[in-house]
Chains A and B, each alone.
Chain A
Amino acid sequence: MTVVFIIKFLEVLQMKKFDIVVIGGSAAGLTAAITARRHYPEKKILLIRKEKLVPIPCGIPYVFGTVGSPQNNLILDTPLEKNNVEIMLDEVTEIDREGRKVMTAGGEEVGYDKLVIATGSLPMMPPIPGFDKKNVFPVYKDVDQLTKMQETVNASKKVVVIGGGFIGVEVSDEINKIKDVQVTICELLPHCLQLAFDSEFCSEAEKVLQERGVNIMANQKVESIVGNSTAAGVKLADGTLLETDMVIVGIGTVANIDLAKKANLRLGPTGSIWVDRTMRTSDEHIFSCGDCAEKFSFFGGKPSKLKLASIASSEARIAGANLYGIKRESVGTIGVFSSAIGDHSFAVAGMQEEFAKQQGYDVIAGMAEGPNRHPGKMPGMANQRVKLVFEKRTKVLIGAQMMGDKAVGELINVASACIQHRMNIDDIACFQMGTHPALTASPVVYQYVNAAESALLAMS
């Protein structure tokens, strides 16, 4: 008995101990660690991640074209080093909640006072016949897997992408930039990007993609992936056979909850780690944020499966600040996306008109379109279209969609702020914007406010 006690005592003495331990080194883990440092300058913080190199999640589609390789798309350790966060490259295999310590594959035991789980998500694989052939790739968030995928892309003449959401569209457009590669997107819904945009925006995005040489097979279910040990074709439900040299799957991601489940943490309705609005799990000493954490919609509070690096970072800023006292709460996911296909940018925040109606909202929409410079002869002129969706009775803004030049990537964030603060149609119609001939639309035709005016007209 005495010997056991002494051994245990020595183990505790030898065990590494930190105030705050963060598991995971992508957007959520990194932001949680830095936020914790800002709020708790005196605490000893450790970030444990299994990957030596961590890809920037939103930059993954661009490794196949614009940025050239997975090695050019990495999250740097500099912010962690500058913020005095220690890094351990190892895999946490177990959480001992009672002993408040984590165990790693490398045999380490690390004690914690507060723990943040930011284990992210894994790509979803549709179990259609043939999914396990060796040249079928989900879009991994792993440098080695992405490198292997890029090598296969470079050796291919024909590529089929299953899924026409943001990842599918961006990966397709980037691969399409490689000479002599024919890319075909297979999408279940009538349009690509339909879960994010109303049909008129989807059609514009599809037109741009097709003009750039991408084939689109919309409203098509993939029946099977054919070939021997490697995929040689994709068979669609209507009998069409698309020949291919590889298949890329981009139909979504699933929360990585393995560690949390093993630790008996409560799971939420979508199967992610349950958290309250402060990002605290069912264990008061453990927080979770990012793709692995359960989410709820800003609109109505239903469980949400949205997974975005921007949501992950926002949640991490809440979790990191709340570790030793609650300071922040989540308002739920608004869902703010933007994407670029060539010179054309598309962006959305909140609910689109069709989706809001499906959810039972009585809505009124307004649209405005015009040049983004004044006069239109100014360099950089491009058409900009803005559509705003309001809840009819309260006139509160619940959604915005935009297309135009790169500026819509930031203008959509203005819309998100307006949605988050529940601004109404008159607030936006009287919105005081700054304008400049070389930078923006004229104050008279400013699309964001005129879309609100147009909705007001439709209401009367």
Chain B
Amino acid sequence: MQKILIIDDDKDFQDALRLVLEDHGFDVISAYDPEEGTEKVQSEKPDLVILDVLMPSNYEGFDVARKIREKLKMKELPILLLTAVHTEKKVPYRFAPHEEYLPVDYFMDKPVEPDVLLEKVNELLNIVE
């Protein structure tokens, strides 16, 4: 069973996401802040990380992504950013995966349809349905 770590400070969102992912056979672990998330990335050895950005408000998720890649040297661990940062911060630009400046595999804006998210999760985990 493949293990997914969700790092997001929104408990309701985590619960809803957990239901969807568990229903599709994934083992789901939760972390509710950047510190807990960084710790669980090392201790739980997940196959995929779903990461929020605004935890609680100031782009902390970007630092977590950089830490995973640069300090923990986990270059191959797939990271999916799932965030409402664009709408909440009302910015006239976009954040997107970038090898050096935003080292994640995919960027998704919240809200997201469950089947769209599952398709991307499967793709990142190389699962063929």
The winner among A123, A267, A271 for most chain B CB atoms within 10 A is A271
User: Is there a chain A Cβ closer than 8 Å to B109's Cβ?
Assistant: yes
Judging by beta carbons under 8 Å apart, are B94 and A122 in contact?
yes
CB-CB contacts below 8 Å: A254-283 with B: 254, 256, 258, 261, 264, 267, 271
The one of B59, B106, B109, B116 in contact with A127, judged by C-beta atoms closer than 8 angstroms, is: B59
B108 to chain A: closest residue by CB: A271
Q: Which of A34-42, A111-119, A137-145, A319-327 contacts B (4 or more CB under 8 A)?
A: A137-145
Distance in Å from the Cβ of A404 to the closest Cβ of chain B? Answer: 33
Q: B100 — which chain A residues lie within 8 A by C-beta?
A: 188, 221
User: Is there a chain B Cβ closer than 8 Å to A251's Cβ?
Assistant: yes
Q: A188-B100, A251-B101 are in contact. Are A271 and B107 (CB under 8 A)?
A: yes
The one of A122, A128, A222, A261 in contact with B93, judged by C-beta atoms closer than 8 angstroms, is: A122
CB-CB contacts below 8 Å: A295-332 with B: none
Distance in Å from the Cβ of A234 to the closest Cβ of chain B? Answer: 13
Distance in Å from the Cβ of B77 to the closest Cβ of chain A? Answer: 19
A interface footprint on B79-113 (CB within 8 Å = 1, 0 otherwise): 00000000000011111101011100011010001
Q: A188 — which chain B residues lie within 8 A by C-beta?
A: 100
Judging by beta carbons under 8 Å apart, are B92 and A124 in contact?
no
Taken together as a complex, chains A and B put the C-alpha atoms of A258 and B84 apart, in Å, by: 12
Judging by beta carbons under 8 Å apart, are B92 and A127 in contact?
no
Q: A221-B100, A251-B101, A271-B107 are in contact. Are A127 and B95 (CB under 8 A)?
A: yes
Q: B109 — which chain A residues lie within 8 A by C-beta?
A: 258, 261
Judging by beta carbons under 8 Å apart, are B94 and A124 in contact?
yes
Tier of interface size on chain A: 20 to 34
Distance in Å from the Cβ of A163 to the closest Cβ of chain B? Answer: 10
Taken together as a complex, chains A and B put the C-alpha atoms of A253 and B45 apart, in Å, by: 33
Judging by beta carbons under 8 Å apart, are A124 and B113 in contact?
no
Taken together as a complex, chains A and B put the C-alpha atoms of A124 and B94 apart, in Å, by: 5
Taken together as a complex, chains A and B put the C-alpha atoms of A124 and B62 apart, in Å, by: 15
A interface footprint on B13-32 (CB within 8 Å = 1, 0 otherwise): 00000000000000000000
Taken together as a complex, chains A and B put the C-alpha atoms of A258 and B111 apart, in Å, by: 11
B89 to chain A: closest residue by CB: A132
Q: A127-B59, A127-B62 are in contact. Are A138 and B102 (CB under 8 A)?
A: no
Taken together as a complex, chains A and B put the C-alpha atoms of A91 and B113 apart, in Å, by: 24
Q: A126 — which chain B residues lie within 8 A by C-beta?
A: 98, 101-102
User: Is there a chain B Cβ closer than 8 Å to A125's Cβ?
Assistant: yes
Judging by beta carbons under 8 Å apart, are B116 and A124 in contact?
no
Majority secondary structure, A binding face: loop
Q: A267 — which chain B residues lie within 8 A by C-beta?
A: 116
Judging by beta carbons under 8 Å apart, are B101 and A128 in contact?
yes
Q: How many residues of B contact A (CB 8 A)?
A: 17
Taken together as a complex, chains A and B put the C-alpha atoms of A188 and B98 apart, in Å, by: 11
Judging by beta carbons under 8 Å apart, are B93 and A123 in contact?
yes
Q: B102 — which chain A residues lie within 8 A by C-beta?
A: 126-127
A188 to chain B: closest residue by CB: B100
Judging by beta carbons under 8 Å apart, are A125 and B116 in contact?
no
Q: A267-B116, A271-B107 are in contact. Are A125 and B62 (CB under 8 A)?
A: no
Judging by beta carbons under 8 Å apart, are A125 and B93 in contact?
yes
Judging by beta carbons under 8 Å apart, are B113 and A125 in contact?
no
Judging by beta carbons under 8 Å apart, are B95 and A125 in contact?
yes
B interface footprint on A214-232 (CB within 8 Å = 1, 0 otherwise): 0000000110000000000
Judging by beta carbons under 8 Å apart, are B98 and A251 in contact?
yes
Distance in Å from the Cβ of A15 to the closest Cβ of chain B? Answer: 28
Distance in Å from the Cβ of B30 to the closest Cβ of chain A? Answer: 24
Q: B116 — which chain A residues lie within 8 A by C-beta?
A: 267
Taken together as a complex, chains A and B put the C-alpha atoms of A261 and B109 apart, in Å, by: 9
Distance in Å from the Cβ of B96 to the closest Cβ of chain A? Answer: 5
A221 to chain B: closest residue by CB: B100
Taken together as a complex, chains A and B put the C-alpha atoms of A271 and B92 apart, in Å, by: 18
The one of A125, A142, A271 in contact with B106, judged by C-beta atoms closer than 8 angstroms, is: A271
Q: B59 — which chain A residues lie within 8 A by C-beta?
A: 127, 132
Q: A188-B100, A271-B106, A271-B107 are in contact. Are A140 and B94 (CB under 8 A)?
A: no
A249 to chain B: closest residue by CB: B93
Taken together as a complex, chains A and B put the C-alpha atoms of A403 and B102 apart, in Å, by: 34
Judging by beta carbons under 8 Å apart, are A254 and B96 in contact?
yes
CB-CB contacts below 8 Å: B58-85 with A: 59, 62
The one of A140, A251, A252, A264 in contact with B92, judged by C-beta atoms closer than 8 angstroms, is: A140
B86 to chain A: closest residue by CB: A258
The winner among B100, B106, B116 for most chain A CB atoms within 10 A is B100
The one of A127, A132, A253 in contact with B101, judged by C-beta atoms closer than 8 angstroms, is: A127
Residues of A within 8 A of B (CB): 122-128, 132, 138, 140, 142, 145, 188, 221-222, 251-254, 256, 258, 261, 264, 267, 271
Q: Contacts A123-B93, A258-B109, A261-B109 given; 13 further ones with Cβ under 8 A? A: A122-B93, A124-B96, A125-B94, A126-B98, A126-B101, A126-B102, A138-B93, A140-B92, A142-B92, A145-B92, A253-B94, A264-B113, A271-B107
List 22 A–B pairs whose Cβ atoms lie within 8 Å, in order of A's numbering.
A122-B93, A122-B94, A123-B93, A124-B94, A124-B98, A125-B91, A125-B93, A127-B59, A127-B62, A127-B95, A127-B101, A127-B102, A140-B93, A142-B92, A145-B92, A188-B100, A251-B101, A252-B96, A253-B94, A254-B94, A258-B109, A271-B107
Q: A-B pairs with the 7 shortest C-beta distances?
A: A126-B101, A254-B94, A127-B62, A125-B93, A254-B96, A122-B94, A138-B93
